[in-house]
Structure 1
Amino acid sequence: MARLALHALLAVCVLTSGCSLLGPDYTRDERAVDVLDNATDSLGASETYRFESQMTVTAATDSRTERVDVELTGAVDVGDRKMRENATMRGESRRAFVVNRTVYRECASPWDGWAVDESAEESQWVNRTPAARQLTLLQSGSVYWNGTQAVDDEPAVVVTGEPTVDALTEYQDDQSQPVFGGPSIEDPQLRAWIDADTGRLLRTELRFTVTRGDNTATATMTNTFGDYNEPVSIEVPAEARTNQYELGCPGE
């Protein structure tokens, strides 16, 4: 059960996936595509932004249900190619930082060190940030225009998409090995709210189901983005540069 919930949680994090897989059977509403293109351009012109995420994974069998909740907060500085993130799960918080292609991840208790990795991705740096990767998911599968809706009293265009399963599962780690090995992902749906005036991405909701045998897990993720072009402070702690695990955190 815990392993299925973990697989689903990893799948949620594929908000990070950077694929573009279209096919002849997908519907690409022209108005929705125009809105997404505008949002991509607007994000490319933004130097900074902040983000928050609420993730929930619920795994169930006939005899047991397990729920995992994760809260994320962070900030991105595109100009300096820096990003910070704080993740809280089951009462424990862990920090992570990205500086150019170097990733610093705080290890879980009882260890007090940091895992340091070099990303193998060669894409434009901004394309690796949370908002960009949400928009990238909408470049796969079907996408539709769903009118307008207010977000914090501001008019926003609503775009809904059905990302391809490949777009969710083909995210790979630095060793080019699949993140998952076994569970199947079904019915992925992604909804995005985009500022009608500025084209900035304001909010997304990602939902899908993961199955393995008779076990099923549902995953949902709500992201909010804001404070575009406002000053941010992103500094890697000194201990992350001195107290390091070169082969990853113990126990992972």
Structure 2
Amino acid sequence: MDRPALHLAVAACLLLAGCSVLGPDHTREERAVAALADAREAVNDTDTYRFDGDLRVVATADGETERVGIDMNGTVDAAERRMHSTAVRGGETYESYVIDGTAYQECGGPMGMDMWGVENVTADDWRMGTPAARQLALLESGSLFHNGTRTLDGREAVLLVGRPTTDALTKYQERRDRSLLGGPSVDDAEVRVWIDPETYRPLRSAVRFEVSRGGNTATARIEMTFADYGADLSVDVPAIPDEETWGAGCPG
């Protein structure tokens, strides 16, 4: 089955954290914008935290439906400019690291051959590449609303709800901005972020959107939780021999 919608949704979910914030102005409530600014500042002032997430994609192509689930977790040590994450799909576990300006990704699939893809990471602010900052960045464009307080896992949280622009979801920033798979249609996108009303740190985020290209469609949802802000955390990087690396990243 030809599965461009599935591949697109997975790619967008995993990479939309670096999306651009292009697009026209939309309704943005003043107190929502203020809360977002406080959250951005709180994340920038935090050196360490943990994150957990899961990605769910349902794609339909040529009358066939396929479902994909990916679980992920990781640790951020912004003071040392180090990040480690683990992704689990179909019982297979893959690790990745970002060490200062270099990203290491464990390659999977028949072409992986137990190798690591290595790529340079370019960013003016290293912290902006971390998961909590990435999710907040999605709220910088499009409509943004303050939906009051909610109870989240027994604690009070401020809920921000945004509808990012199409450009913000169909583009991501890698080494340069480029559209995913030739510019498919991204519809019905919504981003929700729950924020601690005292510390302004993000507690949870949920991103949902639909993509379509030709007759193929997919719905995707990625949820993340953030915890252990400021805890005594560190990222230990394994020794990766040069002969086990690909300088152009993983194939495929």
Give 1:96's aligned amino acid: S
Question: CA offsets, 1:113-140, max 9 Å, x none?
Answer: 1111112x23211011111011011010
Deviation at 1:241? Answer: 5.3
Give 2:157's aligned amino acid: A
Task: Establish whether residue 112 from structure 1 lines up as the match of residue 114 from structure 2.
Answer: yes
Secondary structure (helix, strand or coil) at the match of 2:70 reads: strand
In 2: Cα distance, 1:72 partner to 1:196 partner: 26
Give 2:70's aligned amino acid: V
Task: Establish whether residue 31 from structure 1 lines up as the match of residue 17 from structure 2.
Answer: no
| Percent of matched pairs sharing the same residue | 41
Which residue number in structure 1 is paired with residue 138 of structure 2? 137
Give TM-score scaled by structure 2 length: 0.93
CA RMSD of aligned residues (A): 1.7
Structure 2, unpaired ranges of 5+ = none
Deviation at 1:109? Answer: 4.8
Do the aligned residues in 1 keep the contact of 2:46 with 2:230 (CA within 8 Å)?
Answer: yes
In 1: Cα distance, 2:170 partner to 2:153 partner: 33
5 Å matches for 1:1-252?
1-21=2-22, 23-24=24-25, 26-61=26-61, 63-109=63-109, 111-119=113-121, 121-174=122-175, 176-239=177-240, 243-250=244-251, 252=252
Secondary structure (helix, strand or coil) at the match of 2:140 reads: coil
**C-alpha spacing 1:153/1:238, structure 2 compared with 1 (3 Å):** same
In 2: Cα distance, 1:53 partner to 1:228 partner: 16
**C-alpha spacing 1:23/1:109, structure 2 compared with 1 (3 Å):** closer
In 1: Cα distance, 2:171 partner to 2:241 partner: 30
Give TM-score scaled by structure 1 length: 0.93
Give 1:30's aligned amino acid: E
Do the aligned residues in 1 keep the contact of 2:23 with 2:166 (CA within 8 Å)?
Answer: no
Deviation at 1:152? Answer: 2.2
Give 1:183's aligned amino acid: P
Do the aligned residues in 1 keep the contact of 2:56 with 2:221 (CA within 8 Å)?
Answer: yes
Do the aligned residues in 2 keep the contact of 1:15 with 1:130 (CA within 8 Å)?
Answer: no
Deviation at 1:177? Answer: 3.8
In 2: Cα distance, 1:241 partner to 1:28 partner: 49
**Comparing 181-190 with 75-84, which one deviates more in the overlay?**
181-190
**C-alpha spacing 1:14/1:248, structure 2 compared with 1 (3 Å):** closer
In 1: Cα distance, 2:233 partner to 2:162 partner: 31
How many pairs align? 249
In 2: Cα distance, 1:102 partner to 1:126 partner: 14
